[in-house]
Structure 1
């Protein structure tokens, strides 16, 4: 176990190296940090840190830089994630406000996360297993064409065109009422079972007892609309991710082979990106995977900071960033957590 002074020296080395991107020497540490000890004592502490594997010397005449083990101890000793300032929180809220649908929300989120962290941002589409149907709208585009719009509690908006025989406003209003009464408030799984049962009952020649099934049985437009809504409910996009901030890699041109090239290759593989985010299920926990801790071998020179987003009762998906191990962990962790909370709150209230 390291004593408090050596931990303070390690913290100073991590902070200076992230800021300067240059190996850190003992004299610089004494000059820049109030360590309360002489350069000789700091050199002795650095020797212990190096022997324990927390820092390393890249060149014989250079200072020291943190190792993955050193970054891990630094992150573990942060204690808690610092809150963002009022101005930072307001900027996040303003950036997300005005989003039109789920696609727009996630597009804004990934741009925002990349901008505030200066890393590559990744946002997973929300899962639908626990989402509920908030509203179904039926819009007449012409006498023979309808648009079905389904809005879920995750903010997801799905829409489909339906070609039908001529339909009047009265039938349209009945159809709208029928669909909403059948599925609003149900999870997507429950809604699929309900509508499947309605269609099954509607196909019976005799003995139809459900008023909904009777209405569907008597209307080809209703049958087609129910079948279309079933397709919409069954299209889960949670295996998709949105990526932003790839341009942030340009500042790492000196690390192209070790960091940039593997990241660029990984960005082309959705499954890899989902693995990178990890199986995070708690919006209150920010997970940090450093270097060799990453499951994807070609990205073991990077760090991934991720967390879940969703409602207070349920997490829907994950978001995070990937970047070099030399990153500002306190600020990055705070930004990832704050953005996740605002996205979850925004989608819940929208």
Structure 2
């Protein structure tokens, strides 16, 4: 029985989970090269990979017979598998994880690709346009399903509060965040409200909330009511209650999804059953939000196959990163596709688009 490989010293910072069961033989480096070559060939050709093809396409410095022996060890240890008799080998989830954890560097985008991203996103006119363009761009760059999360209210700050007088007993409260997100609520007032009171209340609310983080802003409402002028106190209490509901219970987070047609471009080996559960998970959104919501702007995460907790995603991989300003993540974005994907290229595209989205929102 072949001895397992030795434990890896470190896991790459972009990996969501490190490989645990890796142990040792004298020719680890060559077997890693063989595994890397199998992953690269299978991703590019979509065909199971044999020893003769590896010897012909890669300068491994050994004969096909030696490569076959290395492949037998890799298969025994669970890094590759044979989809059917007389076929070559394909990577397993464990093989992809080992490959991703040992990527020496994320493949950089070309200058032309970076300029294309910048030009395409710079034409956006508002938050909705930025996110819509981002998801289309990611889908085109990666040929996967692209997902972008709207900036979450809890991570945003108040830019402006607007009050619109709709009638004697009705106001429209408009909350605008520093990320460009807009929340609107209609408030039924307990007494008739005039234009002068609306203007006074607008000034009072903006002086109290502008610049405040939404996660903390709701705690200022009780003091605001207590210290409000007597003639405004009931109105402040009513509008304040609506603001608390908006700030503390911001409603569902939303995803923009694009490129679902890319799921049909693979083969039966990519999704041996059906893509329907994955499409339903994308439509439901909550499942994917849980994955891409746990991100920060400095780290690209990769979750492969069975590492995804939800059954609908066990045949897929998710590459995600946070976007925002500095170390502050406002939301997440990424791509979802088969485990047979160009991890290095997708990681580079996801990271680049996230950087531009963060810059655009910081400047807006």
Judge same fold: TM > 0.5, yes or no: yes
Name the CA distance, whole Å, in 2 between partners of 1:189 and 1:54: 45
Deviation of 1:88 after TM superposition, in Å, equals 2.0
CA distance in 2, matches of 1:102, 1:213: 36
Correspondence for 1:74: 99
For structure 1, the residue ranges without an aligned partner over 5 or more in a row are 202-209
- Structure 1: how far apart are the matches of 2:343 and 2:256? 22
Given candidates 98, 103, 113, the residue that maps to 2:128 is 103
1:140/1:147 contact within 8 Å kept: yes
**Match of residue 236, structure 1, among 231, 245, 250:** 250
How far 1:116 sits from its partner (Å)?
1.6
- Structure 2: gaps of 5 or more residues: 6-26
2:363 equivalent in structure 1: 349
Cα distance change of structure 1 residues 313 and 304 upon mapping to structure 2, 3 Å threshold: closer
Matched, 1:272 2:254: no
Q: CA deviation at 1:338?
A: 1.8
Aligned pairs for 1:35-50 within 5 A = 35-50=60-75
Give the one of 266, 270, 275 matched to 1:252: 266
Structure 2 length as normaliser, TM-score?
Answer: 0.80
Residue 342 of structure 2: aligned partner: 328
Equivalences for residues 158-173 of structure 1 within 5 A: 158-160=183-185, 167-168=194-195, 173=199
Once the two structures are TM-superposed, the CA of residue 184 in structure 1 deviates from its matched residue by 0.7
Tell me the distance in 2 between the aligned counterparts of 1:100 and 1:172.
30
SS at 1:239 equivalent: coil
How many residues are paired up? 336
Report the RMSD for the aligned CA atoms in angstroms: 3.0
Contact residue 132 and residue 187 of structure 1 kept, 8 A = yes
Q: Deviations over 1:81-113 (max 9, x none)?
A: 233223222222333334344333333322222
Q: Which residue of 2 aligns with 1:309?
A: 323
Distance 1:223 1:299 in 2: 46
By how many angstroms is 1:182 displaced? 1.4
Shift of 1:114: 2.0
**Aligned pair partner of 1:216 in 232, 251, 263:** 232
CA shift digits 1:177-226 (9 cap, x unpaired): 32221111111143222234323x2xxxxxxxx3x444624x95x66655
1:282-318 superposed Cα distances (whole Å, 9 cap, x missing partner) = 3222111111111112321211112222221322332
TM-score by length of 1: 0.83
2:353 to 328, 339, 348: 339
Structure 1 counterpart SS, 2:232:
helix
Moved more, 325-334 or 298-307: 298-307
- Residues 160/96 of structure 1: CA separation in 2 closer, same or farther (3 Å cut): farther
Matches within 5 A, 1:129-148: 129-138=154-163, 148=173
Partner of 1:185: 211
- Cα deviation, residue 167, structure 1: 4.7
Q: Distance in 2 between the 1:102 and 1:57 partners? A: 47
The 8 Å contact of residues 154 and 247 in structure 2, kept in 1 or not, is answered as: no
8 Å CA contact retained: 2:147, 2:334? yes
After TM superposition, list the pairs within 5 Å mapping 1:117-136 onto structure 2: 117-136=142-161
